[in-house]
Amino acid sequence: MGTYVLKRLGLALVTLWLLSVLVFFATQVLPGDPGRAILGNLASPSAVAALDHQLGVDRPLIEQYWTWVTGLLHGNMGVSTQFRAPVEPYVQAALVNSLKLAALAFVIVVPLGIVGGVVAALNYGRGADRVISVAGLSATTVPEFVSGIVVIVVFGVALKVLPVSASAGAGASPASQFQHLILPAIPLVLVLFGYIARMARAGTIEALNSDYARTATLKGLKRSVVIRRHVLRNSLLPTITVIATQTGYLIGGLVVVETLFNYQGIGNLIYTAAKSKDFPMLAAGVLVIGVVYMVATLIADILSTVLNPRLRLGGAE
């Protein structure tokens, strides 16, 4: 198992490197002349060249990449072109905000999704199953800004019960912050609910139809014991992996939700960076998202290895 974790870590590092190349390529190479982009069409060529030189973008690509990557390794993510200041404090603050929102969504959706999926599986083919399945599917497939608009229209505009903006403002009480986060969390919960419920349902149905569930039932165990001890133990394993994988989609959703609700998170950060062609900021934001996602997947993989004796202990031979 130790070797598995090491191997998994090694793969994660390779992926991280590929990711850095991808981000570097997209943010430093594709956009063309950063100096021109910053100074605009009216600036003189010499001013552009001077800025390019100052930014270091007139050097060879490999050298630029090397500078960039070694900078990253030293915690130096570059200088924001829109704020003319190091990007780290911005990224850090945004990440904390995003994690708050994501955590709230997770706390709501994980139990909800699992219970929904298990209830659907136990009622396989009946009304409750159809309702949960179709509702879950619909919720998952609707983009967050669409469901976000619906909740804004319903709760913010029509009923006026919850604040439409996600930010409670500086110095707001935790209760107030929480209140402001409820509406933005709903679209995220909706998108994730379908995935988690679907996975939990499929796993539970498979376990219910398994030979070992039959063995347990024919042993004379109570149905509740069969489900708790024999079915759920096996069916929820794959669900854990899915939950972690969904972190990625969650962060993708954050870009949209944070923009819609004007919340100062990592999604909003890369959005505004993109709008103002602030490529160092954009690169840092995207990289941070990638790292968070990879860490989540890694934890999920290790967790499911720990929980699954077959993976943990290896084969008989």
Partner 1 sequence: MTEVVAAPATAVTVVHGRGELPPWRLLLRRPTFIVGAAILLFWVVCAVFGHMIAPQDPLAQQLLATNKAPSGAHWFGTDQLGRDVFSRVIVGARSILIISFFATLLGTVAGTALGLTMGYLGGVVDIVGGRLVEAVLALPLVVVAFLFVVAVGPSPLTIIIVIGLVFTPLIARTVRSAVLVERQQDYLASARLLGENRAYIMFVEVLPNVLPVVLVEFTVRLGYAIFAIASLSFLGFGVQPPTPDWGADIFANYGVLPAGYWWMTLFPALAIASLVIAINLVTDSIEQVLAS
Partner 2 sequence: MTVTETAAAGRVDDLTPTLQVEHLEVTHRVRGDDRRALRDVSFQIGRRESYGLVGESGSGKSTVALALTRYLPRNGRVTGGRISINGQDPLAMDAEALRALRARTVSMVYQEPGKALNPSIRVGRQVAEVYEVAGLDRSAAQDKAEAMLRTVQISDPGRVMGLYPHQISGGMAQRVVVAMALAAEPSLLILDEPTTALDATVEAEVLDLVAALREDFATSVLFISHNLAVIAKMCDRVGVLYAGELLEEGPAQQVFEEPRHPYTVGLLRCIPRRGQRKDAGRLDTIPGFLPSPGHTLPGCVFAPRCPIAEQRCREARPPAFDVGPGRRSRCYLHDATSDLPRNTPVEVQLASTRDPAEVVVSLHDLSKTFTHGGESVRALVGVNLSLERGETLGLVGESGSGKTTLARALLGLVAPDEGSDVELDGTALAAEARRRPREQLKALQIVFQNPDSALNRRHTVRHLISRPLSRLAGLSGARLRERLTDLVRSVRLEERHLSLRPSQLSGGLKQRVAIARAFGGGPRIVVCDEPTSALDVSVQAAILNLLADLQAKEQVTYLFISHDLGVVRYLSDRIAVLYLGRVMELGPAETVFAGPHHPYTEALLSAVPSIDGQRADRIRLHGEIPSAADPPSGCVFHTRCPRRLSTGVCETTEPPLAQVAPGHLMSCHIPIDQLTILQRTGQDGD
Residues near partner 1, by CB under 8 A:
11, 14-16, 18-19, 22-23, 26-27, 30-31, 133-134, 137-138, 140-147, 149-150, 152-153, 156-158, 164, 248-249, 251-253, 255-256, 259-260, 270-271, 274-275, 282, 286, 289-290, 293-294, 297
Q: Which residue has the tokens 């009216």?
A: 42
Over 112-124, what HEC string results?
HHHHHHHHHHHCC
Q: Which two tokens stand for residue 49?
A: 């060249």
Q: Which two tokens stand for residue 151?
A: 């909740």
Q: Which is nearer to partner 1, 213 or 282 (CB)?
A: 282
Least distance in angstroms from the C-beta of 220 to partner 1 = 33
Which run of H or of E encompasses 142?
none
Stretch that binds partner 2, among 76-84, 208-216, 243-251, 279-287 (CB under 8 A): 208-216
Task: Please state the φ and ψ torsions of residue 85, each to the nearest 5 degrees.
Answer: -150, 160
Are the CB atoms for 6 and 301 separated by under 8 Å? no
Least distance in angstroms from the C-beta of 317 to partner 2 = 5
Are the CB atoms for 52 and 250 separated by under 8 Å? no
Q: Which of residues 70-129 bind partner 2 (CB under 8 A)?
A: 124-125
- Classify 85 as helix, strand or coil: strand
Are the CB atoms for 251 and 292 separated by under 8 Å? yes
Burial degree of 31 (CB within 10 A; 0-12, 13-18, 19+): middle
State the Rg of the chain over Cα. 24
Least distance in angstroms from the C-beta of 216 to partner 2 = 7
Q: Which is nearer to partner 2, 9 or 307 (CB)?
A: 307
Q: Which is nearer to partner 2, 38 or 236 (CB)?
A: 236
Over 163-188, what HEC string results?
CCCCCCCCCCCHHHHHHHHHHHHHHH
Binding-site partner at residue 102 among partner 1, partner 2, none, CB < 5 to 8 Å by type: none
Binding-site partner at residue 316 among partner 2, partner 1, none, CB < 5 to 8 Å by type: partner 2
* Binding residue for partner 2, selected from 197, 216, 260, 300, defined by CB under 8 A: 216
Q: How far apart are CA 106 and CA 18, in angstroms?
A: 29
Q: Which two tokens stand for residue 242?
A: 């899915």
Least distance in angstroms from the C-beta of 313 to partner 1 = 25
Least distance in angstroms from the C-beta of 124 to partner 2 = 8
Q: How far apart are CA 270 and CA 277, in angstroms?
A: 10
Stretch that binds partner 2, among 10-18, 24-32, 160-168, 205-213 (CB under 8 A): 205-213
Tell which phi-psi region holds residue 277, choosing left (phi > 0), alpha (psi between -120 and 50) or beta.
left
Q: Which of residues 221-280 bind partner 2 (CB under 8 A)?
A: 221-223, 229-230, 233-234, 237
Stretch that binds partner 2, among 133-141, 170-178, 275-283, 307-315 (CB under 8 A): 307-315
Residues 6+ apart with CB under 8 A from 221: 229, 230
Q: Which is nearer to partner 1, 199 or 226 (CB)?
A: 199
For position 316 contacting partner 2 by CB under 8 A, the verdict is yes
Q: Which is nearer to partner 1, 34 or 213 (CB)?
A: 34
- Residues making contact with partner 2 (CB under 8 A): 124-125, 210-212, 214-223, 229-230, 233-234, 237, 307-310, 313, 315-317
